[in-house]
Amino acid sequence: MNRIARWLVLCLLSPSLAAASPEGVVAVSQPAAAAAGARILAQGGNAIDAAVAVQFALNVVEPQSSGIGGGGFMLVHLAKTGETFFVDSRERAPALARADMFAPDGLPMRFPLASTSGLAVGVPGTLLGLDTALRRWGTMKLADTLAPAIELAGHGFRVNRFLAQDIADDDGRTQLQPETAAIFRPGGVPLAEGDWLVQPDLAKTLKLIAARGPDVFYRGPIAQAIVKAQQRGRSELGNAGKGRMTLADLAQYRVTIRPPLIGHYRGWTLAAMPPPSAGGLTLLEILKLLERFPLGDTAQGYGFGSPRTLHVMAEAMRLAFADRAVWIGDDDAMPMPQRALLNPDYLAARAALIQPDRRMDTPQAGDLTPWETAAAQSKPVRARQESLHTTHFAIVDRWGNMVSYTTTIEYTWGSGITVPGYGFLLNNELTDFNFMPGADPATGNPGANDVAPFKRPRSSMAPLLLLKDGQPVAAYGSPGGATIINSVLNVTLDVIDHGMTLQQAIDAPRLSVTQATGRISCEGGLPFMQPAFSIATQDALRTLGHTGLGETGTDGCRETIGSVQAVVVDPTTGAHGGAADPRREETVIRVGH
Ligand code: GLY
């Protein structure tokens, strides 16, 4: 490693070095779940064992965001071989799913109705993903990793501010189904911060899994209860809202192990999430569009938070999200023009659309024909505003194995359907598909994200491993629907272009655009979000034609975007550190101190 690279890596790690752990570090958005992972590391488990325990614990203490009723992507980096894999436990559409199922009369169902109906429930993958990761790379038994979660569910835990807030602001989702209301609104009263929550049904379920393994979920009594529960719809939708999952769909569910998508940015290497997530491809496309701008150079008017930097970030996001909307979906169901999207000539043509002095008109997805023979012309697809929940955590163990895991039940509270007698929520992941089929032979739109049997809905989840000179230096990711890609992007730029430490990068305000039409969302208003995007900066963006920021002279950056958890490794000393996001209940536990 040369001197400059070493200096950059040290900058990235510097706050963590002093507290570096010889054993391991867990970074999670919820302290009780972080403690579950730390306990496993302290017992001698590795990062994969700890990650499995954290996910089970999150199912108990952050049930609104992830759990065995959902799916996710776990990045695993193995120190011994240097290999990186993704465990893809994304939910799948059932065999009876059809392209028009969210638009049975030719009109899209309303999201609040569709997403709280059994129709939206994808075949859950999380439990089989955890079991697969543990069997391949873990050292502990499934039952051992379940122990902390079983205690939390059986003995209870104190409701934190974020869970209480999500119950209070639930869009009705904890009120629609009696089993969900009984847990989170006992006697009709929403749980408040500080209340004690015991979940006996969930404890029973986790004990069953500990005793009998995943089969009890995918083939046994829990499978029967899931199939029955997802037949619940919303009366407004009639039979069209009922779920289509059968026992065979659950029995046939399979996890996929995927190699990473490898990209490069200013001499750093990124091991990123491939399809069925758009996370890696869209992140890499934005980075490659931005690489031709000197984002770190304040002398040229760039630098963190300058109008010039924010303008090109917003424009690159718009171009990449236009491509995402048309071209990206489940690659196993339909071949995708992955190489074309990252072809240097294509990217050069795309980047040339970014003008320095004005916001471009709404871009369409690019024509990939010259770069990929299978690709065709495109037409815009109306993108739905995607939900803002999910969760991300990161772990490094004493051997240097790393896990970066983004996991979800889709919307906050998923479908709102708790499996009766078993105490866990079912996802609404199938609403990540196109509601209106996009496939159109006349225009060449492939319908990459149209519903189809067994297909996985397109995700935005983007667990990431950052490497320098071939050595892993950081693993991170974020929740937040489509904004996930931009949260990971902001943090990556802040570290590489703006020389921030990972914790500074996590704290710094973020900017996000998730649609080609280009409405900007940006952060501000919380004291740790420094340096803030000033009103003068926002006015400069307004003058360039950007929208979403409100009136001239006002502060339009008031949002909160994502929740990034990270672990870092010094490739020279092997020292470990962690960084977590104050946007949720940031928790970094260093085991062995
Ligand atoms: N449902 C969130 C995502 O997969 O991106």
pLDDT digit string, tens, across residues 542-579? 999 999 999 999 999 999 999 999 999 987 888 999 99
16 has pLDDT over 70 = no
Return the pLDDT at 571.
79
DSSP bridge partners of 472:
467
Return the pLDDT at 379.
43
Pocket probe mutation, ligand 1, options 484, 486, 487, 561, max atoms within 8 Å of Cβ: 484
pLDDT digit string, tens, across residues 397-411? 999 999 999 999 999
Q: Which residue has the tokens 């695993």?
A: 76
Q: Does residue 449 have its Cβ closer than 6 Å to ligand 1?
A: no
User: How far away, in angstroms, is 72 Cα from ligand 1 center?
Assistant: 8
Helix axes 126-137, 47-61, angle to 10 degrees: 160
User: How far away, in angstroms, is 448 Cα from ligand 1 center?
Assistant: 16
8 A C-beta contact, residue 174 and residue 185? yes
Extended strands (E) in 259-383: 261-265, 268-272
Q: Does residue 408 have its Cβ closer than 6 Å to ligand 1?
A: yes
Q: Does residue 66 have its Cβ closer than 6 Å to ligand 1?
A: no
Task: Locate the ligand 1 atom nearest the alpha carbon of residue 461 and give its number.
Answer: 5
**Known catalytic residue at 390:** yes
Return the pLDDT at 371.
67
User: Quick one: CA torsion of 292, 298, 300, 304, rounded to 10 degrees?
Assistant: 50
DSSP codes, 367-401: --GGG-TT-------PPPPPP---EEEEEE-TT--
Q: Enter the tokens of residue 535.
A: 């009103």
Q: Does residue 460 have its Cβ closer than 6 Å to ligand 1?
A: yes
Q: Tell whether 165 and 224 lie within a shared domain.
A: yes
For residue 23, being part of any structural domain is answered with no
For residue 408, being part of any structural domain is answered with no
CA distances from 426 to 171, 223, 402, 450, 524 (A): 16, 12, 28, 21, 33
User: How far away, in angstroms, is 461 Cα from ligand 1 center?
Assistant: 6
Q: Tell whether 236 and 344 lie within a shared domain.
A: no
Q: Tell whether 216 and 115 lie within a shared domain.
A: yes
Q: Tell whether 532 and 478 lie within a shared domain.
A: yes
User: How far away, in angstroms, is 328 Cα from ligand 1 center?
Assistant: 14
Return the pLDDT at 389.
78
pLDDT digit string, tens, across residues 143-175? 999 999 999 999 999 999 999 999 999 999 999
12 has pLDDT over 60 = no
Phi then psi for residue 576, to 5 deg, are -115, 155
For residue 443, being part of any structural domain is answered with no
DSSP bridge partners of 522:
511
455 has pLDDT over 60 = yes
Q: Tell whether 308 and 229 lie within a shared domain.
A: no
DSSP bridge partners of 465:
271, 475
Pocket probe mutation, ligand 1, options 282, 410, 415, max atoms within 8 Å of Cβ: 410
Count the neighbouring beta carbons within 10 Å of the beta carbon of residue 83.
13
Mean pLDDT, residues 85-95:
98
Q: Enter the tokens of residue 34.
A: 């972080």
9 has pLDDT over 80 = no
382 has pLDDT over 50 = no
Count the neighbouring beta carbons within 10 Å of the beta carbon of residue 78.
18
DSSP state of 418: B
Q: Enter the tokens of residue 31.
A: 């302290």
Note down the domain range covering 64. Answer: 34-257+416-432
Q: Tell whether 107 and 199 lie within a shared domain.
A: yes
Q: Enter the tokens of residue 342.
A: 């990252």
pLDDT digit string, tens, across residues 231-273? 999 999 999 999 999 999 999 999 999 999 999 999 999 999 9
For residue 189, being part of any structural domain is answered with yes
Out of 205, 390, 408, 483, which one is annotated catalytic? 390
Q: Which residue has the tokens 């869970």?
A: 163
Tell me the three-class secondary structure of 521-536, residue by residue: EEECCCCCCCCCCCHH
8 A C-beta contact, residue 45 and residue 32? no
Q: Does residue 483 have its Cβ closer than 6 Å to ligand 1?
A: no
Quick one: which of 49, 135, 28, 64 has its CA closest to 581? Answer: 28
Q: Which residue has the tokens 């079912």?
A: 426
586 has pLDDT over 60 = yes
Phi then psi for residue 475, to 5 deg, are -130, 130
Q: Enter the tokens of residue 489.
A: 């992007």
Q: Tell whether 92 and 241 lie within a shared domain.
A: yes
Region label for 430, one of left (φ > 0), alpha (ψ between -120 and 50) or beta (otherwise): alpha
Share of the chain above pLDDT 70, in %: 93
For residue 325, being part of any structural domain is answered with yes
Q: Tell whether 362 and 508 lie within a shared domain.
A: yes
CA distance 369 to 134: 42
Quick one: which of 16, 158, 5, 12 has its CA closest to 499? Answer: 12
Of 432, 462, 496, the position where a domain reaches its end is 432
DSSP codes, 141-206: -HHHHHHHHHHHHHH-EE--HHHHHHHHT-TTTTTSSHHHHHHHSGGG----TT-EE--HHHHHHH
CA distances from 44 to 21, 148, 478 (A): 14, 15, 27
Q: Tell whether 72 and 46 lie within a shared domain.
A: yes
Quick one: which of 1, 31, 17 has its CA closest to 576? Answer: 17
For residue 13, being part of any structural domain is answered with no
- With cut-offs at 50, 70 and 90, classify the pLDDT of residue 14: very low
CATH number at residue 362: 1.10.246.130
Helices (H) and strands (E) in the chain, counts: 19, 17
46 has pLDDT over 70 = yes
For residue 267, being part of any structural domain is answered with yes
User: How far away, in angstroms, is 170 Cα from ligand 1 center?
Assistant: 18
Count the neighbouring beta carbons within 10 Å of the beta carbon of residue 257.
14
Q: Enter the tokens of residue 12.
A: 């990235």
Quick one: which of 404, 482, 434, 405 has its CA closest to 126? Answer: 405
380 has pLDDT over 60 = no
Q: Does residue 432 have its Cβ closer than 6 Å to ligand 1?
A: yes
Q: Tell whether 276 and 151 lie within a shared domain.
A: no
Q: Does residue 481 have its Cβ closer than 6 Å to ligand 1?
A: yes
8 A C-beta contact, residue 222 and residue 216? yes
CA distances from 120 to 100, 221, 437, 593 (A): 13, 22, 16, 45
Structure-model confidence comparison of residues 8 and 206, the more confident one? 206
Task: Locate the ligand 1 atom nearest the alpha carbon of residue 279 and give its number.
Answer: 5
Q: Tell whether 217 and 192 lie within a shared domain.
A: yes
Q: Give the chain's mean pLDDT.
A: 93
pLDDT digit string, tens, across residues 469-498? 999 999 999 999 999 999 999 999 999 999
Structure-model confidence comparison of residues 421 and 378, the more confident one? 421
User: How far away, in angstroms, is 408 Cα from ligand 1 center?
Assistant: 7
Q: Enter the tokens of residue 59.
A: 């199912």
CA distances from 258 to 342, 447, 481 (A): 19, 23, 21
**End-to-end CA gap in the chain:** 30
Hey, is 295 helix, strand or coil? coil
Q: How many domains does the structure of the chain reveal? A: 2
135 has pLDDT over 90 = yes
Return the pLDDT at 467.
97
377 has pLDDT over 60 = no
For residue 341, being part of any structural domain is answered with yes
- With cut-offs at 50, 70 and 90, classify the pLDDT of residue 369: confident
DSSP bridge partners of 265:
268
Q: Tell whether 233 and 298 lie within a shared domain.
A: no
Q: Does residue 459 have its Cβ closer than 6 Å to ligand 1?
A: yes
